[in-house]
């Protein structure tokens, strides 16, 4: 992501200095607690990357609340605080849900009086039955495989302080779980994570990102993302081995080379294609681009100037 006029390019060494004089660092006990909640993330990244980010988000939350209060004063109506919505975009397997989970834990730790909830857009994929009927089974993750109307209604309800239900997707059954929902009930902060959150659907007047107060794009070299996709695939196979109800059970029981060949094909024909055609083009809509290198460590950040 070079030559982006409207972004500050900030190397890790510089970013970690930001806000350092203003905040109380997490104690080693708090860090260990976070580590137990989120075992894959590096504690050095927590302190040097994600803590300054949480403080930036704190400032943005204050601005959002002030803007909301000004508008209510201008209109002469009661000021009802609205949830702060944080969007997280990026490729399949780049680590969006891991970043979302970590930010949710850190925000809860730093702002204990705020209710933080987290959701993925995976649940808004059409069910396998619906995808089959629409001949979209091989297009899972592409824009047309999501029920965008329901997603927009969901986020509009959350922003307007209504209780909202989000369908739940399971990687184990490779489908939406019939009748299962996450209930989002008046959070102060909602983190919405998914490959499609910064996309502009063709036939809608309003986009998911219209509801965002801040957005992050998680980025990495595509060869690294492919490697992480395979690492996660191996983890999924390990878990599927003893579970006949798991979608991947047959692959987990059979020859690993056959399973890897299938995963390679899916990466090439679906996820890599989707990354280039529909996900990467949304990167320069984000307020912040987090660029990860080897071992998922963040090495560079791009912060939107204006
Ligand atoms: N910061 C990190 N440190 C170490 N491992 C990580 C980190 N972030 C993600 N991973 C690993 O990379 C893989 C992909 O991560 P994750 O499931 O968060 O991706 P995702 O972008 O949410 O994927 P999807 O869109 O398919 O749901 C997982 O195996 C996860 O454990
Ligand atoms: C659920 C999505 C679309 C996004 O997280 C992705 O993980 C996925 O399942 N993609 C379809 C191709 C595949 O099986 O990887």
Q: Alpha helix (H) ranges present in the chain?
A: 12-15, 28-37, 43-45, 51-75, 96-110, 128-133, 148-159, 222-240, 249-253, 256-266, 273-274
User: Any binding-site annotation on 95?
Assistant: yes
Which residues are CB-contacts of 189 (< 8 A; sequence separation ≥ 6)? 61, 83, 84, 85, 86, 107, 111, 114, 115, 116, 117
- DSSP letter at 111 equals -
Compute the mean pLDDT over every residue in the chain, rounded to the nearest whole number.
93
User: Any binding-site annotation on 96?
Assistant: yes
DSSP-based three-state secondary structure for 161: coil
User: Any binding-site annotation on 42?
Assistant: no
User: Any binding-site annotation on 145?
Assistant: no
DSSP-based three-state secondary structure for 182: strand
Domain ranges of the chain: 7-304
Residue 203: pLDDT band with limits 50, 70, 90: confident
**Per-residue pLDDT tens for 84-98?**
999 999 999 999 999
CB of 122 shorter than 6 A to ligand 2: yes
Min mean pLDDT across 26-35, 52-61, 243-252 is at: 26-35
Compute the distance from residue 39 Cα to the ligand 2 centre, in Å. Answer: 23
**Per-residue pLDDT tens for 103-157?**
999 999 999 999 999 999 999 999 999 999 999 999 999 999 999 999 999 999 9
CB of 59 shorter than 6 A to ligand 1: no
Q: Are 256 and 240 in contact (CB under 8 A)?
A: no
Asked whether residue 22 carries a pLDDT value surpassing 70, the answer given is no
Compute the distance from residue 140 Cα to the ligand 2 centre, in Å. Answer: 6
Compute the distance from residue 11 Cα to the ligand 1 centre, in Å. Answer: 22
User: Any binding-site annotation on 93?
Assistant: yes
> Of the ligands numbered here, which is closest to the C-alpha atom of 266?
2
Compute the distance from residue 95 Cα to the ligand 1 centre, in Å. Answer: 3
> Of the ligands numbered here, which is closest to the C-alpha atom of 92?
1
Residue 23: pLDDT band with limits 50, 70, 90: low
CATH class of 7-304: alpha beta
Compute the distance from residue 93 Cα to the ligand 1 centre, in Å. Answer: 5
d(CA 100, CA 66): 25
Beta strand pairing call for 175-184 and 164-170 = antiparallel
End-to-end CA distance of the chain: 17
Say if pTM beats, i.e. exceeds, 0.80: yes
CB of 72 shorter than 6 A to ligand 2: no
Compute the distance from residue 204 Cα to the ligand 1 centre, in Å. Answer: 30
**Mutation pick for ligand 1 pocket among 93, 104, 195, 267 (CB with most ligand atoms within 8 Å):** 93
> Given the CA of residue 195, which atom of ligand 2 is nearest to it?
4
CB of 94 shorter than 6 A to ligand 1: yes
Q: Is the ipTM of this complex over 0.90?
A: yes
- DSSP letter at 91 equals -
CB of 301 shorter than 6 A to ligand 1: no
Q: What is the pLDDT, as a whole number, of residue 3? A: 64
């Amino acid at each position: 992501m070079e030559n982006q006029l409207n972004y500050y390019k900030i190397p890790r060494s510089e970013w970690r200095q930001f806000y350092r004089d203003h905040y109380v660092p997490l104690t080693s006990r708090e860090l260990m607690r976070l580590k137990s909640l989120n075992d894959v993330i590096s504690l050095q990244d927590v302190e040097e990357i994600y803590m300054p980010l949480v403080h930036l988000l704190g400032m943005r939350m204050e601005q959002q609340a002030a803007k909301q209060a000004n508008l209510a004063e201008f209109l002469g109506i009661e000021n009802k605080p609205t949830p702060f919505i944080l969007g997280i975009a990026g490729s399949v397997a780049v680590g969006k849900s891991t970043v979302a989970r970590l930010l949710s834990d850190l925000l809860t730790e730093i702002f204990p009086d705020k209710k933080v909830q987290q959701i993925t857009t995976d649940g808004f994929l059409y069910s396998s039955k619906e995808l089959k009927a629409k001949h979209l089974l091989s297009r899972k993750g592409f824009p047309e495989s999501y029920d965008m109307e329901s997603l927009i209604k969901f986020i509009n309800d959350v922003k307007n302080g209504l209780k909202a239900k989000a369908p739940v997707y399971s990687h184990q059954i490779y489908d939406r779980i019939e009748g299962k929902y996450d209930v989002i009930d008046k959070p102060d902060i909602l983190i919405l994570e998914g490959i499609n959150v910064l996309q502009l659907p063709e036939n809608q007047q309003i986009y998911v990102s219209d509801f965002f107060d801040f957005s992050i794009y998680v980025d990495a070299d595509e060869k690294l993302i492919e490697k992480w996709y395979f690492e996660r695939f191996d983890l999924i196979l390990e878990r599927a081995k003893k579970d006949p109800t798991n979608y991947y059970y047959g692959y987990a029981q059979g020859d690993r080379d056959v399973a890897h060949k299938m995963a390679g094909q899916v990466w090439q024909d679906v996820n890599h294609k989707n990354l280039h055609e529909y996900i990467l083009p949304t990167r320069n809509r984000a307020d912040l681009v987090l660029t990860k290198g080897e071992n998922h460590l963040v090495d560079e950040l791009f912060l939107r100037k204006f």
